[in-house]
Amino acid sequence: MNIAVKHSRNEHTLAWAIICSVLLHAVLAMVIPKIQFDAIKKPAILQVEFVKKTEPAPVAPPAPEPVKPKAEPKLKPKPIEKPLPSKTIIKDEPILHSPPPPSEVIAVAPKVDAVPSPMPPTPIAPPTPPAPTILPEPIKPAITTDKVDMEAARGKYSNTLWGAIGKYKQYPRIAQMRGWQGEAIVELLLDGNGKLKSKKIIQSSGHEVLDKQALEMVEKAVPYPAPPEALRGNSFTITVPIPFKLE
Domains of the chain (ranges plus CATH)?
Answer: 145-244 (3.30.1150.10)
Q: Which of 88-102, 161-175, 191-205 has the lowest mean pLDDT?
A: 88-102
Supply the mean pLDDT for the chain.
75
State the Cα–Cα distance between residues 225 and 161, nearest whole angstrom: 7
Share of the chain above pLDDT 90, in %: 33
158 CB-contact burial (10 Å; exposed 0-12 / middle 13-18 / buried 19+):
middle
For residues 166-177, give the mean pLDDT.
Answer: 93
3-state DSSP assignment of residue 133: coil
Helix (H) or strand (E) holding 217: helix 208-220
Average pLDDT over residues 87-115: 48
**pLDDT-above-70 percentage for the chain:** 51
Lowest mean pLDDT among 10-19, 112-121, 225-234: 112-121
- Taking the CA atoms of 237, 239, 240 and 244 in sequence, report the sign of the dihedral they define: positive
**How would residue 26 be classed by pLDDT, with cut points 50, 70 and 90?**
confident
In the predicted model, is pLDDT for residue 88 greater than 50? no
Per-residue pLDDT, 165: 95
pLDDT digits (tens, 9 = 90+) for 201-221: 999 999 999 999 999 999 999
Helices and strands, number each (H, E), in the chain? 4, 3
Residue 66 has pLDDT above 80, yes or no: no
**What mean pLDDT is predicted for residues 140-157?**
75
The DSSP secondary-structure symbol of 240 reads E
pLDDT band (50, 70, 90) for residue 142: very low
The three-state secondary structure class of 219 is helix
Q: What is the dihedral of CA 158, 160, 161, 162, to 10 degrees?
A: 90
Task: State the virtual CA torsion across 211, 213, 216, 221 in degrees, nearest 10.
Answer: -110
Strand arrangement, sheet containing 182-190: 196-203, 182-190, 236-244
The answer to whether the bond into 223 is cis (omega within 30° of 0) is yes
The model's confidence at residue 32, banded by pLDDT at 50, 70 and 90, is confident
pLDDT at position 56 is 62
Q: What 3-state class would DSSP assign to 172? A: coil
Task: Please give the Cα distance from 38 to 19 (Å, whole number).
Answer: 34
Higher pLDDT, 126 or 175: 175
**Number of other residues whose CB lies within 10 A of the CB of residue 73:** 6
Stretch 149-159: mean pLDDT: 90
Number of alpha carbons in the 13 Å side-chain half-sphere of residue 98: 3
- Work out the angle between the directed axes of helices 145-165 and 208-220 (0-180°, nearest 10): 100
Mean pLDDT of 130-149: 63
pLDDT greater at residue 241 or residue 55: 241
